[in-house]
Structure formats: C-alpha cells, structure tokens
Amino acid sequence: MECRRRLNRRLILTNGFVFSILSYMVNYNERLGRTFAALVDPTRRAILARLEREDGASVSELAQPFAIQLPAVMKHLDVLDDAGLIIRSKVGRTVTVQLRANPMREAMDWLRRYERFWSKSLDRLAAYAERKEIEARKTRR
Amino acid sequence: MTSLTLVRRIKARPAIVFDALTTPEGIACWWGPDDGPVLVAETDPRVGGRFRVRFRMLDGSEHESSGEYLEVVKPERLSMSWRWAGGVEDPGESLIEIRLRAIAEGTELSFTHSRLRDEETRRSHTAGWNGALDKLERHFLKEHVA
C-alpha cells in the first residue's frame, strides 16, 4: 500500500538531537506544572471559579461554602498563590483574594496545542486504517 | 483540565487500527500535526518496550517524542508513557491511553493523553485516574509547597 509519507533514517543522523533548552523554557515548564497541580483539586477549582464570578473575595468568604477548616483553605490558597493563579492583598485585618488569569491561559494553550497535534494525527490514522481495511478485504477475495 | 480525550469512529477492524498505532509503517503515515514527514519511527510494542518517533513539521521544525509501552493488549488496549525529547513542549512525562472497541462500522477509538509526572504515579496508573491524580498532587505539594 502506498503511504505518502516515508521514513527517512538518514536525516536523523545529520540533524542529531539539537534541542537547546533555554532557562526560560525550564521556568515555563515548572510554572505549567504548578498550574496543573493546582488545578487537579476540586476545592481549588471551586475557589477559582468563584473568584472568576466575583472578582475578589476575602479568605473567610472563600472558606464559607466548604466543609473544611480555615487553615485547610489557607493551604489551598498557598498552592494557588504558588502557581500564580491568585493574588492576595491585605487591607487591615482582611485578606482579599483575586484571580490572575495568565497561568491559566498558558495551561489552556498547552492543552490546545496537544489537541491540535492529536486531533490531526488521529484523523490521518483513521484514514490510513480505512485504506488498510479496504485493502485487506480486496486481498481476501 | 489535566487530560485530553478524543474519540474517533473508524471504518476498519480493531486489529488493523491497532497495527496502524504500533507499527513503524503505520506511524509513518499518520503521526504529526501537519503533512510534514515522519523521520524516525521505532516501536517495540510489548510491556516495557519503547517507542521513538521523530517528525518534521511543514515549518521546518523537528520534534521527537519517546516513551515506554505500559500496556499492550492487541487489539483492545494500548498505554504508553510519553515525553518530548528535550522537554521543549512538555514539562515531563505524561500518559497515553488508547482503547479500541469493536462496533458495527469498525472500531471506536478513544484516546486519552493525561499529564503525569512522577514515576510511581505512572507505574500505578491502573489504580485509576483519580488515585493517580491524588498522588500527583501530593508529589507537587511536596515539591513546591513544603
């Protein structure tokens, strides 16, 4: 069967594995890892969703809907803060929490890139397998 | 948020789809986000075996990914670890899980790419996605918060 794309083993030797990674990328990767780690927890996602709706809330307001103690909420906020997903600012005795959208956008970009990659690949995989199926049926006759 | 799932219905029997997924000839025909060529495709589809695929995109950039087969049950299931060489696009190792189900018209392929980082989580991924995510989270909490 004809395949429009061919393996070329020679090229790999000449090109080598030239992927020089800038420290920027390392930082980017670490940041991305923190973002995803922050987002795996449902309580933290609920906090983020609320901050998106309300554009800022105090720590005790945020803790209120959850059946967990304030220190546990503080810990979740630490994780979100570490991932750069929120900003905490203190006025008097009240700590106000606000959403920062940038890391989230980076995480979405990452997912979209993967989606593009796999979506296109799987479309081609399907077309290839379907050609193979037709070929197999012909051979059997 | 942390995983991507795609489903395709393919007019070909599962065994043919499985071969397309696991043979270098097959991979050379479909792997990659555009019509650029696959330069290297190596596979060893058995548990513990490895794969390596390098492709060039139409913009001239080359990308390589490799990983280990974690589950190989022809023609139904295929799981492998995944990481980009050089780690440009990917912060670490992730997991690919493919399920092939025979349907009247051929095969329903469901494909999941999820992000997993630590070795232990990857090895015990059969414990279930939630368990894995919990561990992943603990791993990160240790790493970044403690």
A48-52, A126-130, B46-50, B108-112: which range is least confident on average? A48-52
**pLDDT confidence of residue B47:** 97
Topology of domain A21-140, per CATH?
A: Arc Repressor Mutant, subunit A (1.10.10)
Query: How is A21-75 classified by DSSP, letter by letter?
Result: PPHHHHHHHHHHHHHHHHHT-HHHHHHHHHHHHHS-EEHHHHHTTSSS-HHHHHH
Instruction: Identify the residue among B3, B39, B58 best suited for mutation to test binding to A, counting A beta carbons within 10 A and taking the highest.
Output: B39
Q: Which residues of B touch A118 (CB under 8 A)?
A: 4, 6, 111, 113
Q: How many CB pairs under 8 A join A and B?
A: 149
Residue B69 confidence class, pLDDT cut points 50, 70, 90:
very high
- CB < 8 Å & 24+ apart, contacts of B92-100: B92/A29, B92/A33, B92/B117, B93/B67, B93/B117, B93/B122, B95/B70, B95/B122, B95/B125, B96/B67, B97/B71, B98/B21, B100/B14, B100/B17, B100/B18, B100/B75, B100/B76
Contact A95, A59 (CB under 8 A): yes
Give the distance from residue B99's alpha carbon to the nearest chain A alpha carbon, in angstroms: 13
Contact B25, B137 (CB under 8 A): no
Q: Which residues of A touch B10 (CB under 8 A)?
A: 125-126, 129-130
Q: Which CATH superfamily is domain B3-115 in?
A: START domain (3.30.530.20)
> How many C-beta atoms lie closer than 10 Å to residue B129's C-beta?
16
Going from N- to C-terminal start, the domains of chain A cover 21-140
- In percent, the amount of chain B with pLDDT more than 70 equals 73
The single-letter DSSP state of residue B39 is E
Going from N- to C-terminal start, the domains of chain B cover 3-115
The single-letter DSSP state of residue B85 is G
| pLDDT (tens place) for every residue of chain A, 141 residues total | 446 554 443 333 223 222 323 344 456 667 777 887 888 888 888 888 888 888 788 888 888 888 888 889 999 999 999 888 899 998 888 889 998 877 777 777 767 778 888 999 999 999 999 999 999 999 876
Is this structure's pTM higher than 0.80? no
Rounded to 10 degrees, the C-alpha dihedral B8/B14/B15/B17 comes to -10
Taking the C-alpha atoms of residue A6 and residue B138, their distance in angstroms, rounded to an integer, is 44
Q: What ipTM was reported for this prediction?
A: 0.74
Q: What angle do CA A49, A54, A55 make, to 5 degrees?
A: 100
Q: Which residues of B touch A107 (CB under 8 A)?
A: 1
Cis, bond preceding B75 (omega within 30 deg of 0):
yes
Scanning B37-91, the segments in alpha helix (DSSP H) are: none
Q: Which residues pair with B111 in a beta bridge?
A: B6, B98
Q: Which residue has the tokens 């939630």?
A: B130
